[in-house]
Structure 1
């Protein structure tokens, strides 16, 4: 018997195929065209695939849209968690490494919402799954530079988890969000002007010494507005040791420095302690002669790093993965 590793004898490449091979090739080609036609039909008539308008948009413009959406939304407390209540039927969600800006939110069952989806950095997946019925789920792709507008209606009340199903970096596994679909009493919704979250982030009332930090905590500067900054600076002058929590709750998730602004004396050692995963500390600006390098590597819960601040002035810093949602801070040395 000839080995399958040996070359066939003769000019096998120029031999005519027999009739049975022609039939099977024809059947395969026809079936491929049929499946392709079904795909077009499902998209156009079957409603199996999401469609909608797509617009080109810069990262800065998308961040501003989502910030405006959050500022106009009310809040509803559900099981001690603050959820956004869209002012109208437009829901804005921004994907970033590694979180969701604009979530969590609460939606009414049976109502049609226009979801505006976009990415602040890289390609992400947008997979929505009903926690009580995993057969109800959709999987979409979100690309940077585009805003995708889709209509969605959720008939079944419950919790819908949002996960990224496109590998987007080392923190991909922790990229979770959610929204609730449930009826609620409008009187229980806190109006935007009274919401304690995002609207407070725009106040630059001055803090200790009246410093406004050049609008650092607003959405007009680098990144998004810092929702957990209420316009005041925590006074720790005179303390030998000060701690800043990295990845505290704020800005729509574990995306805050706590306190966001702190005032210390020269020679004070400040310890940055990670309370959640996938954060770093990058220096935006610091006084002339200062040598703080921040901490560029992404670290997780339990990590800490210390720096002694010797030079007086204002040190602005941020978390690179979550700058878009306002994870920024200030150390003011007096």
Structure 2
């Protein structure tokens, strides 16, 4: 069953300084016509370099960013056109886990107060039962009930991220968007958080949009992966299909740059060249062509054709796997 459906979504931001002193307003296209879907109980990885628009997409899905065009359907309801009740329902059934576990928590509130606040606002349990539910949430993410009296500053990064997950679980969500939620943690703690997400996904039938730049983690956690470049998805499909036979040059370059994926594979002799162009001035044709070793003259002139090979979708003139 499809829980989340995104259709031709666009998110844009006014460029700093544009529109002032009579200057023409310029728009930065953070998300540029993205479509994707996510089923209940499925984990979709969203990967790409910093600045590709991953976080902007995740925040727009939860209506934390304004949507310029397109649709977001949650459980069949178009929340881009929805009224107050639709947005309230979205808030009750979705949650976000943020990258910085310390910044995401109020330093003035104890852990117990942080979780209790969510339970009160969302009216998930009766007031007398809140302390017991707080203890249950902490246990659910592998933390002792004694931590409820402590404040975030006295906890480790891994403990704070577990609290962030507990806060997300407090609303009993159907969808969680995890935005680089392990990027700031040590490798050993990353593994614990990934195992926790896998366990919660299986136990609660959670749908998870897992935003990350570490492809090794995505391969371990996710069912499908979508690769973003300059606000667009250039390749999407089952994890093993995409990692085993990437079709887009950008996907192949990302995979080659992560030696953890295959320790026997030598590092690439030439890493991905250059930097992504400014979203204010997108290249003509294929946006990746200025950095692509396989670029052809037509790549500078026309948008790349779309292909669908047994659920592995990509946009490129190339027709053979690159690895």
TM-score range (shorter-chain normalised) is under 0.3
Could you say which structure has the higher strand fraction? 1
TM-score by length of 2: 0.24
TM-score by length of 1: 0.24
